Amino acid sequence: MSADTFTVGKTEIRKDAWDKVTGAAAYVDDVALPGMAVGMVVRSPHHHARIARIDARAARDVPGVLAVITAADVPGSKTFGPLAQDRPALAVDEVRHLGEPVAIVVAESKTAARRGVKAVAVEYEPLPAVFDPTAALEPGAPQVHPGGNVVTRYDVAGGDVEAGFAQADIVLEHVFEVPRIAPGYMEPEASTAEWGADGTLTVWVSSQKPFEDRHQIASVLGLPQDAVRVRSAVIGGAFGGKEDSGLAILAALAAWAVKGTVRLVNNRHESFLAHPKRHPARLFYKLGAKRDGTLVALQATVHMDTGAYSSYGPAVGGLLTEMVPGAYRIPHVRVETLVVYTNSPFSGAMRGFGSPQAHFATESLIDMLAGELGMDPLELRRKNILRPGDRFFTGVPLDRTASSLPVILEHVAAARARLAAIPAPAGRVAGVGFALAVQSMGLGYRVPDDSTNRLEWAPDGTIRVYVGAPDLGQGLATAAEQIAAEALGIPYSDVRALAVDTALSPNGGVTCASRMTYVVGNSVMMAARQLIETLLAYAADKLSVPRAALAYRRGAVVLPSGETIPVAEFASRAADEEVPLRAEATFSFPYPEATTPKHLPVGMPHGMFVFGGQVARVEVDRDLGTVEVTNLVAIHDVGQVINRAGVEGQIEGGVATGIGYALYESVRLKDNGQWVDGFTEYLLPTAEDVPARIESVIVEVPEASGPYGVKGVGEITLVPTAPAITNAVCDATGVRVTAIPIVPEDVARAADPA
């Protein structure tokens, strides 16, 4: 596309990169405000306990301690939550997971705050705890909340699954397990809140959803929304885990309590224990096929552990349910998903949002079926992939967008052949595996799914983009700038996106769900058209000519004579008159009446999809069972590329996260009753654990409703990785892994039972 575009499709350099390589970029913890106090959180040492008594007197007497805040002090709503208000800002009478906030100590220094935290005496009466979702469903299981342990239950069917299995020549039944995953953003959660003399609060956040934070903070503080201003600092990664207002609420409470400025920064252990993770799940699958490989029926029951609080668990469960059949046409499907409370640290949104869990099971089982049928797993997929005109089991039809799947599959075939030709070194066995994936975009039907953004002509003729949703580090600001520049025909260097400030920015929605380039881009294009109209109306007025006599071209107003006047001439004048030239537009994610089924629970179905496939080559050490991913080819349909380096960056980062899912990562309960809660035991892939070059193949099938043909890419990039790797391990060793992360000893033992 770049041949006939201005900037779209080109690898422009992100504008914040310069500050980030010099250390000048200011994250929340890098800004010291005058008179700022330190907040630290007293956290539960128990998995589940009644709070008999909190005695903060000794803590208040510690020199330098300014305040100790408990639930009794919370002025507004004691609980909050994005979907259900089931989570106390500070524990009320009971703690439900290790690390739950019980009190905040505000002090003049870190040392005083630490002493204060130690001096808060909390008397607990331990209660029985449950950590496994299947166990939590048993009668007599410890009750995490009064209403029972089932948060949400979905039972969604397409076709008649019994009739489907009756047609099957072969039926496979297997159970899969996937672990609890920490988002692993490098910047732990941080928030600074400042109480103003006029009774308003300003809260700096590292968050995916400043507008939602404002709502939650106002609710817990008992303040009107307009008394709370939320500002986005530079964000050090998020991956879904920063769709959580917890720490911002605590910072706001602390500032309110001392009528001053307070910063709270989680250390990594606090981040592990008290911030959202990807749901662990147990997936019971039953798949039926004809002898020729035609898939006829799939039934799944899924137990998802959402931990002590629901967070986005119900929505994750909904999307997981939709994603169970993966990228395949299966006429008869039934999925039952149970989202279950336990006393584990809670799970919520994380990159993939239910899709990685479902795909691990589906893509493993497809390979297992191929093995049973004696068929090439590539042929089996070729026979069953979704194609334009097919429907998901929810009833959503697939249009031209699905034409990328067969293309992706042929890239998979080529990469597989190339990687299979690489010989294994001595002492190791090599194998090649692959997997396909589908990922929805957007929040789902009947969930507000809008994004409002604003363009403004600065007096010098450059453009300010008030993007209403934060850039998490992935490059949303760059995409918005490129799209604005393209739509207005001006250089990328003349466009600058501003950080979100709820007092100045329109509400762009939550940065999530692989939808941002699509929704923000569409909104920016709409705003650009309006902005040109606003400019020409203003210019016509100033020049005393009819509007129709003027045209706009590349940052200039064109007069009937052909003469041009730079926009700056008008923009500076308009600014002087305090009527700046600006335009704002709202784009709503489309859920077309004709193609959106109405029989499903709220949040279902999703209506737009991206597709991908990945091929992994692994080498397995025969003696140790350790797995090295030596090559990974990632093929993804993104609609059309806005910024190639940006898309590749999403792919490469997603793949590395997927490698961690397959091989290393699990927030698990240790024998000593403590959780894995730090990078000593929770192993993020390092530069030596991923291939030196992750190969990206970008397939472009333009999306008609997308800005310059864009779809999305944020989440799918890690979805096929784990099953591609376990399928490769099976190819190398014959060992089928049904629970990740892979345990090397198990692979070694199974590969060589002697």
Partner 1 sequence: MKPITVTLIVNGEPRTITTEPNKTLLYALRDDLGLYGAKDACGGEGECGACTVILDGEPVNSCLVLAGQADGCHVETIEGLAAGGQLHPLQRAFVETGAVQCGFCTPGAILAAKALLDRAPDPTDDQIREALSGNLCRCTGYTKMIAAVRRAAEEMSHVR
Cα–Cα dist 105/257, whole Å: 10
Exactly one of 50, 678, 749, 752 binds partner 1 (CB under 8 A); that residue is 678
Q: Which residues contact 148 (CB under 8 A, 6 or more apart)?
A: none
Pick from 219, 212, 201, 360: nearest CA to 278: 360
Q: Which residues contact 342 (CB under 8 A, 6 or more apart)?
A: 130, 131, 132, 133, 136, 144, 149, 305, 306, 307, 308
Give the shortest CB-29-to-partner 1 separation in angstroms. Answer: 8
Cα–Cα dist 55/58, whole Å: 8
Q: Which span (60-68, 437-445, 614-622, 674-682) binds partner 1, by CB under 8 A? A: 674-682
Site for partner 1 in 462-491 (CB under 8 A): 472-475
Q: Please work out the total of residues on this chain that contact partner 1, with binding judged by CB under 8 A.
A: 60
H helix or E strand, kind and range, residue 551 = strand 551-553
Of 356 and 653, CB closest to partner 1: 653
Site for partner 1 in 230-269 (CB under 8 A): 234-237, 239, 267-269
Pick from 183, 180, 309, 318: nearest CA to 246: 309
- Please report whether residue 420 would count as binding partner 1 according to CB under 8 A: no
- Please report whether residue 655 would count as binding partner 1 according to CB under 8 A: yes
Of 27 and 284, CB closest to partner 1: 27
Cα–Cα dist 483/498, whole Å: 15
- Please report whether residue 339 would count as binding partner 1 according to CB under 8 A: no
Of 190 and 217, CB closest to partner 1: 190
Of 560 and 678, CB closest to partner 1: 678
- Please report whether residue 694 would count as binding partner 1 according to CB under 8 A: yes
Give the shortest CB-30-to-partner 1 separation in angstroms. Answer: 4
Tokens of 324: 């169970």
Of 62 and 366, CB closest to partner 1: 62
- Please report whether residue 111 would count as binding partner 1 according to CB under 8 A: yes
Give the shortest CB-471-to-partner 1 separation in angstroms. Answer: 9
Give the shortest CB-226-to-partner 1 separation in angstroms. Answer: 31
Of 43 and 303, CB closest to partner 1: 43
In the sheet where 556-558 sits, what is the strand order? 551-553, 556-558, 564-566
Give the shortest CB-476-to-partner 1 separation in angstroms. Answer: 11
Q: Please give the DSSP secondary-structure letter assigned to residue 236.
A: -
Give the shortest CB-633-to-partner 1 separation in angstroms. Answer: 12
Of 145 and 269, CB closest to partner 1: 269
Exactly one of 280, 288, 653, 714 binds partner 1 (CB under 8 A); that residue is 653
- Please report whether residue 11 would count as binding partner 1 according to CB under 8 A: yes
Give the shortest CB-13-to-partner 1 separation in angstroms. Answer: 6
- Please report whether residue 648 would count as binding partner 1 according to CB under 8 A: yes
**Is the distance from CB of 88 to CB of 73 less than 8 angstroms?**
no
Give the shortest CB-722-to-partner 1 separation in angstroms. Answer: 15
> Cα dist. 714→94, 242, 435, 530, 647 in Å?
38, 15, 18, 29, 8
Pairing of strands 79-80, 121-126: unpaired
Q: Is the peptide bond before 128 cis (omega within 30 degrees of 0)?
A: no
Cα 620 from chain centre: 31
- Please report whether residue 693 would count as binding partner 1 according to CB under 8 A: yes
- Please report whether residue 649 would count as binding partner 1 according to CB under 8 A: yes
Q: Which span (229-237, 289-297, 414-422, 556-564) binds partner 1, by CB under 8 A? A: 229-237
H helix or E strand, kind and range, residue 379 = helix 377-384
Pick from 288, 404, 452, 444: nearest CA to 637: 404
> Cα dist. 203→39, 674, 686, 743 in Å?
14, 33, 34, 43
Of 184 and 348, CB closest to partner 1: 184
Cα–Cα dist 90/144, whole Å: 17
**Is the distance from CB of 172 to CB of 286 less than 8 angstroms?**
yes
Pick from 569, 451, 427: nearest CA to 513: 451
Give the shortest CB-132-to-partner 1 separation in angstroms. Answer: 28
Give the shortest CB-703-to-partner 1 separation in angstroms. Answer: 23
Of 219 and 657, CB closest to partner 1: 657
Give the shortest CB-217-to-partner 1 separation in angstroms. Answer: 24
Site for partner 1 in 151-210 (CB under 8 A): 183-188
- Please report whether residue 619 would count as binding partner 1 according to CB under 8 A: no
- Please report whether residue 496 would count as binding partner 1 according to CB under 8 A: no
Pick from 632, 635, 604, 606: nearest CA to 617: 632
Q: Each residue of 367-392: b (16+ CB within 10 Å) or e?
A: bbbbeebebebbebbebbbbeeeeeb
- Please report whether residue 656 would count as binding partner 1 according to CB under 8 A: yes
Q: Please give the DSSP secondary-structure letter assigned to residue 616.
A: E
Of 151 and 477, CB closest to partner 1: 477
Q: Which span (7-15, 299-307, 377-385, 588-596) binds partner 1, by CB under 8 A? A: 7-15
Dihedral sign, Cα of residue 130, residue 135, residue 137, residue 138:
negative
Orientation of helix 744-751 relative to helix 721-733, angle to 10°: 30
Of 599 and 693, CB closest to partner 1: 693
Of 23 and 34, CB closest to partner 1: 23
Of 268 and 542, CB closest to partner 1: 268
- Please report whether residue 575 would count as binding partner 1 according to CB under 8 A: no
In the sheet where 695-699 sits, what is the strand order? 428-441, 608-621, 627-637, 695-699
Of 2 and 588, CB closest to partner 1: 2
- Please report whether residue 225 would count as binding partner 1 according to CB under 8 A: no
Cα–Cα dist 324/361, whole Å: 8
Site for partner 1 in 23-62 (CB under 8 A): 23-27, 29-30, 32
Cα–Cα dist 70/60, whole Å: 12
Exactly one of 14, 329, 381, 582 binds partner 1 (CB under 8 A); that residue is 14
Give the shortest CB-98-to-partner 1 separation in angstroms. Answer: 16
- Please report whether residue 352 would count as binding partner 1 according to CB under 8 A: no
Of 614 and 733, CB closest to partner 1: 614
Counts of helices then strands in the chain (DSSP H, E) = 18, 28
Give the shortest CB-281-to-partner 1 separation in angstroms. Answer: 22
Q: Which span (48-56, 413-421, 515-523, 675-683) binds partner 1, by CB under 8 A? A: 675-683
Of 187 and 363, CB closest to partner 1: 187
Q: What count of other Cβ atoms lies within 10 Å of the Cβ of residue 693?
A: 9
Cα–Cα dist 626/615, whole Å: 19
DSSP 462-516: -EEEE-SS---SSSHHHHHHHHHHHHHT--GGGEEEE--BTTTS-----S-TT-H
Give the shortest CB-18-to-partner 1 separation in angstroms. Answer: 6
Of 197 and 692, CB closest to partner 1: 692
Exactly one of 427, 537, 679, 752 binds partner 1 (CB under 8 A); that residue is 679
Residues that bind partner 1 (CB under 8 A): 11, 13-14, 16-27, 29-30, 32, 111, 183-188, 234-237, 239, 267-269, 472-475, 645-646, 648-649, 651-657, 678-680, 684, 686-688, 690-694
